[in-house]
Amino acid sequence: GGGGGVGMNPPPPLIRDRAGILAQKSGAALGYAGPLGGSESGQLKLPWGVAISYSGAIIVADTLNNRVQVFGRDSAVVHTWGTEGDGLGQFKTPMGIAAVNKSTVAVADCGNNRVQVLRIDSGEHV
């Protein structure tokens, strides 16, 4: 029929090496995801969900850091959103993530039993 659909580009392949470095198949490092991880910008601690935005940014649910990090195509950190808590834009163990459209992303905020929708460019709650 004449039904609608969603066109999607496949995400770039992601791999994790023995040292825990999460990287694109091209070799660009994305962040450290080792046994203990880290909490500095660009470091990850039990990254669980990964989504690719319509512009190609890689959005990671950084679960044990209670935040979301956005990496550009060059693997540089573009944005870091959230702190631990139950307010808008705060997270407790975010695990799932999906691009909703060109400007928003949905985050499964598991510890708070909710889904938050945020603007990709700012992390602002929608």
Q: Where are the domains of the chain?
A: 45-119
pLDDT digits (tens, 9 = 90+) for 83-110: 999 999 999 999 999 999 999 999 999 9
Average pLDDT, the chain: 81
Output the pLDDT for position 8.
43
Structure tokens at 94: 């975010």
Structure tokens at 46: 């039990």
What pLDDT band is residue 73 in, cutting at 50, 70 and 90? Answer: confident
Question: Rounded to 5, what percent of the chain is helix, strand, coil?
Answer: 5, 40, 55
Distances in whole angstroms, Cα of residue 107 to Cα of each of 20, 29, 53, 69, 125: 24, 23, 13, 12, 11
Residue 70 has pLDDT above 90, yes or no: yes
Q: How far apart are the C-alpha atoms of 74 and 52, rounded to whole Å?
A: 13
Output the pLDDT for position 43.
87
Which residue, chain included where needed, has tokens 């945020």?
Answer: 118
Regarding the domain delimited by 45-119, which CATH topology (the fold level of the hierarchy) does it fall under?
A: Thrombin, subunit H (2.40.10)
